[in-house]
Amino acid sequence: MSDVVVVDYGAGNTRSVRAALTHIGRTSIVSSDPSSIRDAEFVILPGVGSARSAMEHLDRTGASRALHERFDGGVSTLGICLGMQLALETTEEDGGVAGLGLLAGYVRRLHGERVPRLGWARVEPWGDTYYFAHSYAVESADAVATSDGVTVAVRRGPFLGVQFHPEKSGPAGLNFLERCLSPA
């Protein structure tokens, strides 16, 4: 099995994602190199930081184009939290930022009772409970799962995006990552 490429976008906690991959027996590298991203069997776009600086970093390094090329070639990418939000068309965060546009829709600030939405919550229709920490959420025609009425997963072709943090969601999160990484 080849290394999973965890995309580096300058700020962020890639360590926990890599640790989770280690727990399920996968090796990984952190990279913003376009050819590594384009050619990897599996890529994870992780999620801590702010939208504007993340997109600037992805554009500057050429990682954006590489993510598009993977998508067009039908090769799997998992976006986590901000990494999912960046895959949509636009986000309200940081005064408005254009995303990668791999998926339909946009990212809006949450208006729940408590924001940030922090903690463990059930995801429907999947039934599992995962850890969330977010102030923004996606609105997308590509939605495939919700939690407390909020869209928390989107899929189009080879791109799956999730709002929760599988790397911080205990055994359920590791099982989720394992399913994502196993060949269909």
Partner 1 sequence: MPFARLIPCLDVAHGRVVKGVSFVGLRDVGDPVELARFYSDGGADELVFLDISATPEEAVTMTSVVARVADVLEIPFTVGGGVRSVEDATRIIESGADRVALNSAALADPSLITAIADRYGSQAVVISIDAGDGVVHTHGGRVATTTPTVPWAIEAAERGAGEILLTSIRCDGRRQGYDLELTAAVRGAISVPVIASGGAGSAEHVAAALQIADAALVASIVHENPTGLPGLRREIENLGIQLRPLKDGR
69 is catalytic: no
| Least distance CB 162 / partner 1 (angstroms) | 15
Determine contact, residues 32/46, Cβ cutoff 8 Å: no
| Least distance CB 82 / partner 1 (angstroms) | 8
| Least distance CB 20 / partner 1 (angstroms) | 6
167 is catalytic: yes
Query: Which residue out of 57, 81, 93, 134 is catalytically annotated?
Result: 81
Query: Which residue out of 57, 93, 134, 165 is catalytically annotated?
Result: 165
d(C-alpha 54, C-alpha 39), whole Å: 21
State how far Cα 108 lies from the chain centre: 16
Helices 15-23 and 170-181: angle between axes, nearest 10 degrees: 80
d(C-alpha 30, C-alpha 166), whole Å: 18
Nearer of residues 60 and 109 to partner 1, judged by Cβ: 109
- List, as one string, the DSSP characters of 25-43: T--EEEE--HHHHHH-S-E
| Token pair 């895959």: residue | 87
| Least distance CB 102 / partner 1 (angstroms) | 22
| Token pair 């399913």: residue | 179
Binding site for partner 1 (CB under 8 A): 11-13, 15-16, 19-20, 22-23, 48-50, 53, 82, 112-121, 129, 131-135, 148, 165, 167-175
180 is catalytic: no
Task: Kindly list the catalytic residues.
Answer: 81, 165, 167
